[in-house]
Amino acid sequence: MSTTMPVEPLNPAVLAARHNEDILVGDELVRHSRVSRLLHWAVAISFFVGLFTGLPIWTPLFGWMAYLFGGLEVCRWLHPWAGVAFALFSVWMFFYWLGDMRMLPGETREWFGPKLWTYMKYEDEPDAGKYNGGQKLFFYAVSLGMLGLLLTGLVMWFPLLFPRWLRGLSIVLHDFTFICFMVGIVMHIYLGTTAEPGTFRSMTQGTVTKPWARLHHPGWLRTVTENKDRRA
CA distance 104 to 58: 39
Provide the sign of the torsion angle of the four alpha carbons 103, 106, 109, 112, taken in this order. Answer: negative
Cβ atoms 141, 191 nearer than 8 A: no
Distances (CA, A) of 180 to 109, 114, 145, 173, 201: 21, 21, 8, 11, 26
Cβ atoms 94, 150 nearer than 8 A: no
Q: Is 64 in the site for another protein (CB under 8 A)?
A: no
* Shortest Cβ 46–another protein spacing (Å): 19
Instruction: Closer to another protein by CB, 98 or 227: give it.
Output: 227
Q: Write out the H or E segment, with its range, that includes residue 29.
A: strand 28-30
Q: Is 221 in the site for another protein (CB under 8 A)?
A: yes
Q: Is 210 in the site for another protein (CB under 8 A)?
A: yes
Find the binder of another protein among 15, 35, 78, 215 (CB under 8 A).
215
Q: Is 168 in the site for another protein (CB under 8 A)?
A: yes
* Shortest Cβ 176–another protein spacing (Å): 6
Size of the site for another protein (CB under 8 A): 50
Phi/psi-derived region of residue 71, left when phi > 0, alpha when psi is between -120 and 50, beta in every other case: left
CA distance 197 to 191: 9
Site for another protein in 87-126 (CB under 8 A): 120-122, 124, 126
* Shortest Cβ 211–another protein spacing (Å): 4
Q: Is 48 in the site for another protein (CB under 8 A)?
A: no
Where do contacts with another protein occur on this chain (CB under 8 A)?
57-61, 63, 72-73, 75-76, 120-122, 124, 126, 156, 159-160, 164-165, 167-169, 171-172, 175-176, 178-179, 182-183, 186-187, 190, 194-198, 209-212, 214-216, 218, 221-222, 225
